[in-house]
A and B are shown apart, each in its own frame.
Chain A
């Protein structure tokens, strides 16, 4: 059985080494990261919205990280004023960093597209406001009511253009409202907290101080 034990111990050691190096050691370091004072915890509605985001797989097309401006053009594109750092994600369980930009990065979308109405229209039918978009529609987050049945406290969403449903009033369900609450909470424009600027915590290159956004793009 020597061979089998040697094999299994060796294999175990190989994976354990990686777990120690890439999970446990960083955990010890990252536990020192404090929440930035400007970053608020998610409210109950925002957390509900985050669950809707996860349930519908938004993370598979949208990232939530801004990379260093000396590395790529995330900042120049207007997706953030500075690269994001570990401290920006302390309240995220689990992370939603994403690995795909079929759609734009969203970590600062609350700052970039703060119009609640636009967000609701866009969720109901992205192509009603962004003609070239390939994002799916989410009509199931809304109700399409007959005009006479609309309640006074219903959140009505007026869909512009030819894609509006005929003879129906679009009313946002609580899920849609919660999702928009979550999206609008995504802002990481405050300066990097100095407590998190231990040398090891710095992103790849650059100092992490915010840069003035040169142009405000109309680009989502």
Chain B
């Protein structure tokens, strides 16, 4: 009688190999190219340029260099009054 723990381990291993295969296929297919752009898909140009009052001067300079002149945020932009 095969111990059930062995069945579980083998099944999980098989699934793991399958998952790895799919992962490699996706990678070769180019699904992981340009992850940078994927991470930025939620931003509009405005978002990245909004002046954020909590940022340190250094952070603000970094933002200005990267994205351009700061834009004043709309009131209630951050969710909430003021």
Contacts and interface: CB of A to CB of B under 8 A. Distances in A.
B28 interface: no
B53 to A, nearest CB: 37
Nearest to B30: A2
Nearest to A198: B1
A21 B31 contact: no
Interface residues of B, number: 9
Interface in B10-62: 11, 15, 22, 26, 29, 31
B4 interface: yes
Contacts, number: 14
A166 interface: no
Contacts of A218: none
Contacts of A163: none
Given A21-B8, A199-B1, A200-B4, A6 B15 contact: no
Contacts of B29: 2
A21 B22 CA distance: 21
Contacts of B22: 6, 10
Interface residues of A, number: 9
A199 B5 CA distance: 12
A10 B29 CA distance: 16
Given A10-B22, A200-B4, A3 B31 contact: yes
A21 B4 contact: no
Contacts of A2: 29, 31
A199 B2 CA distance: 10
14 contacts: A2-B29, A2-B31, A3-B31, A6-B22, A6-B26, A6-B31, A10-B22, A13-B15, A17-B11, A17-B15, A21-B8, A21-B11, A199-B1, A200-B4
